[in-house]
Structure 1
Amino acid sequence: MRIEFTKMHGLGNDFVVLDARERAIPEIDAESAAAIADRHTGIGCDQLVVLEPSSQADFRMRIFNADGSEVEACGNATRAIGLLHGEAARIETLGGIVSAQPSKDGVAVEMGKPRFGWNEIPLAYAMDTHSLPVGWEELTDPIAVNVGNPHVIFFVPDTGAVDLARLGPEIEHDQLFPERINVNVATITSRGSIRLRVWERGAGLTRACGTGACATAIGAMRRGLVDRKVIVKLPGGPLAIEWREDGEIIMTGPAAESFRGEFDATAYGLFAFGTAG
């Protein structure tokens, strides 16, 4: 069986999209997802995205990191899927239902409301998520927030001076974070601008992370460092983040389709059919 795919990206954070909304495909597991995501022997991507029918929304989006782990949310992927779908949509994810709306400025995504409880991040034990009394070398006094997936944010004088490739995996796998954690290092450049680098859980250093931009903006807003509308500048480009008065986070930014293709399902160990479609 040959499976069609679409390769997409949001600010360089790239995805392989499999559309099983109308035509069933074999069941994706961690091993097959990692094989497809492998940049040397597979198609190559930061995340594999599988679209399926949903009884709660217009459709369901499943997200697998490059290591095969399934995750709750991905802001860049949501923008890409909004572009692919071509019109406003409510999308079911493991992190809840989000909304995507294509516009002249890219794709606007309603990401839901942030959560701050220690057990909502989650952390291994109770502590104030506004200022965690922990540190890893020069990275200290972080703030934690869940925006559909868990993030910890460190505000530093210069994001480029942080050895995130070394410290990122150490923090991601620390016992304080039972479901692991996305690691953000941010520099406030003005009341309306933040510079950001992200070590993404299960994917590593990334050119862009939509949920990381949301979490970092919310963290900076909670500490009074920025206004409620900011531009978050990532290595791949900028995202506009707004924290509305009703508590909803709105992320707006570009997405693009790179190319389309197909592959032999058996090449990645896909044999048994799933139930989608």
Structure 2
Amino acid sequence: MTTLMFEKYHGLGNDFILLDNRHSHEPLLTSEQAQQICDRNFGVGADGVIFLLPGQDDSDYTMRIFNSDGSEPEMCGNGIRCLAQFAAQLDGQEQVTYRIHTLAGVITPERQGDGRVKVNMGEPRLLAGQIPTTLKAESEKVVDVPLTVGDRTWQVTTVSMGNPHCIVFVDDVASVPLEQLGPEFEHHAQFPQRINTEFIEVTQGNYVKMRVWERGAGATLACGTGACASVVAGVLTGRCDPCTTVELPGGNLEIDWSTGGVVYMTGPASFVFSGTLNL
């Protein structure tokens, strides 16, 4: 039997099991094992398992993550805030900034000292081929484009923050049947690598409400990359300001796209408990 120590963190209720994987460049668990451990009835319970691996390409560390369904996303905004706190705890020092290599590129989280982490999320990718989606030609942006899902046509905007997002602006986010629509958007034929879907209600120019269906995890309490993508979509469609608070079921994130280049995300990341896995 193999024994592994883990710690559990959450970012606005988006929760993760974190493993110290610094001695190996390969994840300590298979995707199937991660799926079992994420099960909320028969495992520890989490939206994903995150591995802290040795750095590459001049980064401090590498991040890998398996979703609760065993799939591997490019990166995770709430997860990388948790990973920064986890790395600092393991290092035993008050390092403020880390360069983290992810499948979406190098991401730079900066610990704020108040339990919050500010993350340079990089520049959004807006071309259809970068999402990817077949809603437009590969070299075109997908902004307020009609998409038929179920028995209704929705106006959608797509943004990649290293992972794919479909943003839908609605009048009342609370009334969206997320459990029904989420899977239909995620597996829509126009999104060959599946899609994360955010439903957004703009309450004022600098404040929006968001509900999210995450690719590979389902309905979650928060999604950092989704919040970033949604503000970018809001700016592109003239619906919200570059500096906007995003209210999620788990709490608020501050998103800043005032540079028109990189997107900054600021929010909390909290330790929950530690434990032992017997495999």
TM over 0.5: yes
Q: Is 2:208 the partner of 1:194?
A: yes
Aligned residues: 265
Deviation at 1:138, TM superposition (A): 4.7
- Of 132, 142, 145, 1:129 maps to 142
- Of 92, 97, 101, 1:92 maps to 101
- Percent identity reads 42
What is the CA–CA distance in structure 2 between the aligned matches of 1:242 and 1:225, rounded to whole Å?
A: 15
Match of 1:109 in 2: 119
TM-aligned CA distance change 1:26 to 1:70, over 3 Å = closer
Match of 2:186 in 1: 172
User: Which 10-residue stretch deviates more, 60-69 or 77-86?
Assistant: 77-86
Deviation at 1:244, TM superposition (A): 3.6
What is the CA–CA distance in structure 1 between the aligned matches of 2:27 and 2:159, rounded to whole Å?
A: 35
Instruction: Give SS of 2:109's match.
Output: strand
User: What does the per-residue CA deviation read over 1:89-128, in whole Å, with 9 as the maximum and x for residues that have no partner?
Assistant: 0001111110011114510011010001111000136344
What is the CA–CA distance in structure 2 between the aligned matches of 1:139 and 1:264, rounded to whole Å?
A: 48
Match of 1:226 in 2: 240
What is the CA–CA distance in structure 2 between the aligned matches of 1:55 and 1:46, rounded to whole Å?
A: 26
Match of 2:92 in 1: none
User: Which 10-residue stretch deviates more, 118-127 or 102-111?
Assistant: 118-127
What is the CA–CA distance in structure 2 between the aligned matches of 1:260 and 1:254, rounded to whole Å?
A: 18
Match of 1:82 in 2: 84
User: Which 10-residue stretch deviates more, 238-247 or 140-149?
Assistant: 238-247
What is the CA–CA distance in structure 2 between the aligned matches of 1:217 and 1:82, rounded to whole Å?
A: 23
What is the CA–CA distance in structure 1 between the aligned matches of 2:65 and 2:56, rounded to whole Å?
A: 18
Normalization by structure 2: what TM-score?
0.91
Asked if structure 2 preserves the Cα contact closer than 8 Å seen for 1:59 and 1:92, the reply is yes
Structure 1 residues without counterparts, runs of 5 or longer: 266-277
What is the CA–CA distance in structure 2 between the aligned matches of 1:9 and 1:144, rounded to whole Å?
A: 26
TM-aligned CA distance change 1:111 to 1:263, over 3 Å = same
What is the CA–CA distance in structure 1 between the aligned matches of 2:60 and 2:218, rounded to whole Å?
A: 31
What is the CA–CA distance in structure 2 between the aligned matches of 1:54 and 1:84, rounded to whole Å?
A: 15
Q: Is 2:129 the partner of 1:119?
A: yes
Instruction: Give SS of 2:86's match.
Output: helix
Match of 2:249 in 1: 235
Instruction: Give SS of 2:165's match.
Output: strand
Asked if structure 1 preserves the Cα contact closer than 8 Å seen for 2:27 and 2:64, the reply is no
TM-aligned CA distance change 1:242 to 1:26, over 3 Å = closer
Structure 2 counterparts to residues 203-218 of structure 1, below 5 A: 203-218=217-232
Q: What is the root-mean-square deviation in Å for CA atoms of aligned residues?
A: 1.6
- Of 168, 171, 183, 1:154 maps to 168
Determine which structure has greater relative contact order: mean sequence separation of CA pairs < 8 Å that are 6+ residues apart, divided by chain length.
1
Normalization by structure 1: what TM-score?
0.91
